[in-house]
Each structure stands twice: as structure tokens, then as C-alpha cells.
Structure 1
């Protein structure tokens, strides 16, 4: 059983109470996490604010070096962090599971450490010189989710500290342990107070978003929670980066080879057991190859093993928590009640398990709840289409706009159709392939702002213009 403390001002912060963290595979106790209070939050923000002048006053090269040292420290503890992650999140150690996630976190840390923040000269002539400088915001509040807890925490923390900010991080109460340990490790190399951690319930996140001395909130999670954060941040006019829900559509055109695309479509939808914001959530297939695509996806899915994350043979783990399991189960049942065809898997009657079978459903109803709502789990609706204009309209007919994909051998047609999709990223013959040097974010109700790349880094700064 794991037990970690919050880190505030470079020291462990004692807590009067704690809460249990449960292994979703076994329902055993994975560990205990401290239950922070509003007073603890004030202390963490004060520590971050106290660390800010010295940290922001370092040279760019010095902060780069510190971020590289953080990456080195995480790499030294790669397997340890992965094991903690599997014990609380459930994902397998191997494949695209915990070892993959920690490796991704290290890679993102190294990339952001290497980025430069140049002064941009806007004018330099007889009328004078104008320079645009980037300055840190101050204390950044980071609120992270349970699906990719370590990697997303790195997405939040490293760009923030790289640009001179200090951070208070609150991980999801479902998966706090790996993040607490990661921040312990960060504090072994960073100056005291630069990165602080607090674990607690949802009320702690609400207090962060309204806290007068937090200058920015970066949040990854559901759209309803993002809307609450945006509302509570209004009084202090906080800067915001919100990466919210997605209901990504994939469109398969008739020139595709069903057997060739099946593995890519499957993993685009089922990476991390479908518990990924930018996973493929709705698959539209041209009716001329619809049956073949369904057959190939069923055949491929039958080769995938769902099981305990510490079983070397497992490809996918459980759904992480009961609330999410019940949502997926409900949407699948509702879809079938409306007349959809079950191709594989199906609803679960066992009230004790969090293992949900890979589920593929054939449906032609635009009002199917499994099509209209983000399932965030291992269930994929497959919808036939015949008219390209109609399918683009269907793909766009959703409040979300995070990502989308088009599957075709015709690159020109891909470009034409991608420009008509209302989403932040469109992939060609793959789905959800994010990378640290490419901006990532959503439109409509899928978020505000972007992460990754130079644009994501600079989202952690304010602009100051000097007229010389």
C-alpha cells in the first residue's frame, strides 16, 4: 500500500485526515492520500507566491537546466512511477499503458525544457524600437484528471515552470498517488515552493479556481467542470487553459481497405480503454464497405485481452471508477434499447466488477445516446453513411470539437474534408496522435486555449511591450 504526503514549500505537509485510493482491478486498497483543507490551499499558494520572485528571476538557461533535471529524475524512477500508476488507475504496465505514459511524460518534459522564449522585435527603425517580451503570470493552479494522471500533470507543470511560474497541483482523488510521488521527486531537484501538491475532494478544485492569488488555472477534464471553473474564475479574471471533453468523429471513405485500417481505428478508439479525451468516439463508415469494416473491427477486437494491469498478457485494464463504468453501461443499454445491433461485448450485469468488455455497436440513429454523448470508455458506435455532405454535417452536429479523423487514400480529399470539420485537430488515417511540438486544443465546448508546442508554452505568459 502506498502512502504519500502533500508537498508545500519543499516540505511534506501533515494532514489531519486522509482518504482511500482503490485499485480498480482488484478493489483492494492501493494507498492513502492526504485530505487537504482550504487552509492548506492558502499555505500552498503562499509558498508558491514566495518562491515566485527568485524562480522567475532566474535566467532562461537556468530554468531550462532545472527542467532537464526534472526529466532526468523522472527517468530514474520510470518503473516505480509506472507501478504506482497501474495500482491506482488500472491500465496495464506494458503496451500503451503505464510504462508508455511515464515515458511520454519524460519526453514532454524534455521537449518543453529545450524550448526557447525569444524577445520579439516588432519595430526597429528611425521611429524607435519596440520589443515584445514574455513574462510569467505568477502562481498557476493545475487541476488534473484520472485517465492520464502523470502525463497530463507534466503537460501542466513543466511549461508553467519553464516560463517562470510556480505551481500548485491538485490531482484527481481517484488517482492521486502517482502524481504525489512525481511531485516529491520534482522537489528533490527544484527550489522549494516551485511545485506544490494538494490532494482532496472536488471542493478543493473549486477553491483553487476562485482563489485571489492564483493567476491562472489549467484544467483537463469534463466540460461541465470546465464551465464551473470558468465561472468561478471570472471575479479574478484568471488566465485559463481548459482542455475539456471530446466526442471525436472518424469518417471512413469508400476507398479504404477495411482490413488495413482496422488496427488503427481500433486503437484510435480504445487507447487507454477509451478513457481519453481525444479518442475516436463515433465512427462513420461509407455504406459500400460498412459491413466489412464492422467485421474487421470485431475480428481485431477479439485478439485484445482485457485484464489486470499487472498481468503481462493484458492489453487493456478496467474502467477506472464506478461512476464512469455506470455511465458507459447506461449508454450501451440505451443504445440497444433503441434498436442498435450488438456486434461485440455489451452491457454488464455484475455490480462488483469494473472490467467492461470491448463493445462495438452498429447503429444508424443520429439520436442514439451513444452517438450524441461522450462515453469515455470501451464502447464504439459505428454508423453507416452514403452522402459526404451529410456525414460532415453529422460529425459537426455536436457541442464538442476536440479532434476528428478521415480515413482515405486520397490526400486531396482529406484536405478538403478536414477543412470542413469543426474541431481542433484532424488526423489522416489515424486518430489521437498528439505530439509535444504541435499545439493541441478544442473548439466549441471542448476547451479554451491550447497546450503543447511554442503556443502552449507561451500560454503560460503575459505579454509586455517595451517602447524604446
Structure 2
């Protein structure tokens, strides 16, 4: 289908019909998909095989030379039209995402994610990457440009299935690669729907999606027909992918687990809580901290997962965060008032529940939450704030990936920095202060790929993003992101 004929699905029912397959009681060709908020069956995702993967890789390899041969301006124009197609289908895409992943339509959730798909696609298409003259001294003339790698194997997570797929596929396509995309088994329909919309515009074979099982997932890193792997997920899985990719020396971009620290400085909150203006200002900062931690109900690699607060304002921060948390409704995603939803799957619910129980059993103080309804139909875990917790408690040292935030007290800035840096993760972090210059000085001492000032997780399609330590390697977004899905090509002479 050409861009001119692409109208996009107009309803949720149209979109679901395009990607759901007939039920299969044996589970061989189809897998039941349930809404994590209600337990209701919403459709059936295909279960594809290694033979399907071979077909998709062959199609990608066949399509790649012609795609790479198109002028850069033509590829960019098609990506812009693809973004327009996503915009035209935004509401049904958001509804399907909400029902499969669980995230509410509103807040920084489903509609936000579909909007991010448009923004990242458009930015990938409009970011300028010109050949660079390295040396021109009259004797040597050296230039650096970037060529396509070939076929990119993109393996995505279940927490931001559409958005992170776009983070992988849009720059890869821009640079002349073709893409074989494997979504998480937990959120297959959402990614199938996104690709269905994009492929109304893109040429055949340029972007394919394989809804495979674990066997398919294990084969992608070792397959000789894949030239680069982009993976977002756990550190444990990332290590296995790196091992598999080594056999064919594939290029890798790994965005792995994080346990992001936030450091609050003493000047970030006012202490005169008898003054309504001070309380309002405190609550504004607390709301920003809250969403840094609880975006997507805490199911975000670069969410704030441990908050370090100085003695002088500890009680004020705890009170303000508790007040803000009480104003955030949690419930079924399609109900417009809700901004927090369920955890996407039972396994993640159990992880969060276990970590919070360990914190409570250790004597930590519960400010709110920590009392889930185990008989509820969905995987809802209440918004939970835990104070007066030991820095070595598992809720602090392990990634909870859910709606529970430990608030750790500190006495000196050096102590806070030591605690923030001592774990073997380094995806994102944040510093909170009314003095930006001071905050930047502290940020220089934080070990993380990105340190935000007075925000957390505020990724920007123009600004490179990637982790250090066990949080992965490689960069995404902006000019550097384009370079990481291409091969450097130096001509010297």
C-alpha cells in the first residue's frame, strides 16, 4: 500500500481485527491475551515459529539494498508519512495499548506513548547527520560518513511496547537498514498494531514483526542474517544476547535494567509548612518527583526507584509526597479519570509484593499503600511509599519495577552520593535543588548515563540516552543514536 492510499484504522475494533487471530485451544498457533486490569480476554496473539523468523529475515535482506539505495530525503519523507499514519490511528492504538498493557489512557501513559511514537519517528526523520571533514590540511583530506549496517533485529519489552519499538526501528530505517522486530509475548498485539499502521506507508519487507516464542527470541542474536541487535530489557537477558551475538560479532545496543537514584538537596523544599505558598511549592516539586517514580505505574527502566533525602527536610518531603500520592487515582485504564493502572503481569506483581513485604518486615515505615487486594481481578498494587528504610534493604538495592518508592534518609551529601553510586547500575538519575548550578555540580559526581536536574526520566528524542555499568551500552536518540545504527566509513586521501 502506498502512502497516498493509507487511511489508517478508524476504530479500536478495526485495529483489533487486523492483528488478532482465531483462538487455538492448544496454544500452538494462538495465545490468549487478557486485560491485566480486568482479566477479560481481549483477543488472541499469533504464536510464530522459527520458520516464520527465517521468512522474515529473508524478506528483510531482500528489501534492504533497495531501501538503502533510496535517497536519504526519500526515506525521511516516508518516515514522516508513517508518523502521520500513527497520528491518524492514535486513539484506537492507545485503547488497544491500554487494554493489553494495562496503562491508563491519560497521564503519562497510553495516549502519551502513542504521541511519543509520532515524536520519535519525526525526530529520527528530521535530525541532520552530514558527512564530517576530519582533516583538511592541504596534504590529507579525511572524511567520516555513515552507511547502513544491514538488517537490525529489534527485541522490545512489555512496559513501553510501542514507544520503545519506535526508538529502535525509526532511526534504523532512517539510516537505510531494514528491521525485524520481536515484541514481548506480554504485549504482542500492541506492537503488531503499530507495525500494521506503519506498514500502510513503508515498502514491503522493510519492517517485519515476528510474534515468536522464547525459541525464536534465542535465535535472533545468533542468526547470521541479522547484523545488529537492539534490545531493551533485563540485564540478565542482555548478557545472554551479548553472548549469542559474539558468535557473529554483531553490533549491539543494550538498554538494560536500572535502579535509578534521585538525590534531593536541602534547598529543594521549604520548611515553613504553616505557609500555604510553601506547601504548594513543595507539592509541585513532590509531584515532579512522584511522576519521575510512578510514570507507567513505576514500570519504566529509567524511573526513579530510590530517593535520598537529607535529614533537615526528610519529614517535609515524606508528607508532601504522601499528599500528592493520595491525589492520583488508580484503576481500569479505559476509565478516563485514572492515571495509574495495574502491573502488566502476575510475575511483576509478585516481585513488587515480595520486596515491599521485606521492607515492612524489616521495620520500615509505610506512608501509604503496601496493602494489595489479592482477590481483585486485576494486578493492581497500591501506590506505596516506604520511609525510614535501611539502605541495604532489598527494596532499595533491587529494581522493583512497580509502584513502590523507598525514601532513604541521609546526613551528608557525600553519604548520599556514595549510596547512589555504589550499585552496579547506571541508567538514569536525578538531582533536585532550587539552585541549578549547585545541582549540576552534584550531577557531575553521579555515576549514570543521564542525570536530570529537577526531573527524572525526561527523555528527549534530540538528546542521546544510554546506560553505563550493568545498565547496558550504546546510545539512542539524536545524532548519536543515528550513528549507533550505522557503520562509520572513513575515506582518507
Contact 1:21 1:173 in 2 (8 A): no
Residues of 2 paired with 1:270 and 1:383: CA distance? 17
Q: Which residue pairs with 1:442 in the alignment?
A: 467
Q: Structure 1's 259 and 190: CA in aligned 2 closer, same or farther, altered over 3 A?
A: closer
Of 186, 194, 199, which residue of structure 1 is paired with 2:206?
A: 194
Q: Which residue pairs with 1:79 in the alignment?
A: 91
Residues of 2 paired with 1:26 and 1:361: CA distance? 27
Q: Which residue pairs with 1:458 in the alignment?
A: 483
State the 1:91 CA deviation. Answer: 0.8
State the 1:202 CA deviation. Answer: 2.4
State the 1:204 CA deviation. Answer: 1.7
Q: Which residue pairs with 2:61 in the alignment?
A: 49
Q: Which residue pairs with 1:405 in the alignment?
A: 430
TM-score (norm 1): 0.96
Q: Which residue pairs with 1:59 in the alignment?
A: 71
1:137-174: per-residue Cα shift (whole Å, max 9, x none)? 00000011111111111110000000000000011111
Contact 1:251 1:283 in 2 (8 A): yes
Q: May I ask how many residue pairs the two structures share in their alignment?
A: 461
Identify which range, 120-129 or 82-91, moves more after superposition. Answer: 120-129
Of 165, 170, 188, which residue of structure 2 is paired with 1:153?
A: 165
2:352 counterpart of 1:340: no
Identify which range, 360-369 or 148-157, moves more after superposition. Answer: 360-369
Residues of 2 paired with 1:202 and 1:4: CA distance? 24
Contact 1:333 1:347 in 2 (8 A): no
2:256 counterpart of 1:231: no
State the 1:363 CA deviation. Answer: 2.8
Q: Which residue pairs with 2:454 in the alignment?
A: 429
State the 1:4 CA deviation. Answer: 4.7
1:90-143: per-residue Cα shift (whole Å, max 9, x none)? 111122221111011101111111122311122234324222121000000001
Residues of 1 paired with 2:354 and 2:459: CA distance? 30
Of 94, 106, 114, which residue of structure 2 is paired with 1:94?
A: 106
Residues of 1 paired with 2:361 and 2:415: CA distance? 25
State the 1:5 CA deviation. Answer: 5.0
1:238-281: per-residue Cα shift (whole Å, max 9, x none)? 10001111111111111122434111111111011000111100
Provide the alpha-carbon RMSD of the alignment.
1.6
Residues of 1 paired with 2:490 and 2:364: CA distance? 58
Contact 1:4 1:32 in 2 (8 A): no
TM-score (norm 2): 0.91
Residues of 2 paired with 1:126 and 1:420: CA distance? 43
Contact 1:400 1:443 in 2 (8 A): yes
State the 1:411 CA deviation. Answer: 2.3
Identify which range, 218-227 or 201-210, moves more after superposition. Answer: 201-210
Q: Which residue pairs with 1:9 in the alignment?
A: none
Of 297, 320, 323, which residue of structure 1 is paired with 2:321?
A: 297
Q: Which residue pairs with 1:274 in the alignment?
A: 298
Contact 1:216 1:238 in 2 (8 A): yes
Contact 2:352 2:402 in 1 (8 A): yes
Q: Which residue pairs with 1:313 in the alignment?
A: 337
Alignment of 1:5-154 (within 5 A): 5=19, 17-154=29-166
Contact 1:4 1:33 in 2 (8 A): no
Residues of 1 paired with 2:435 and 2:200: CA distance? 51
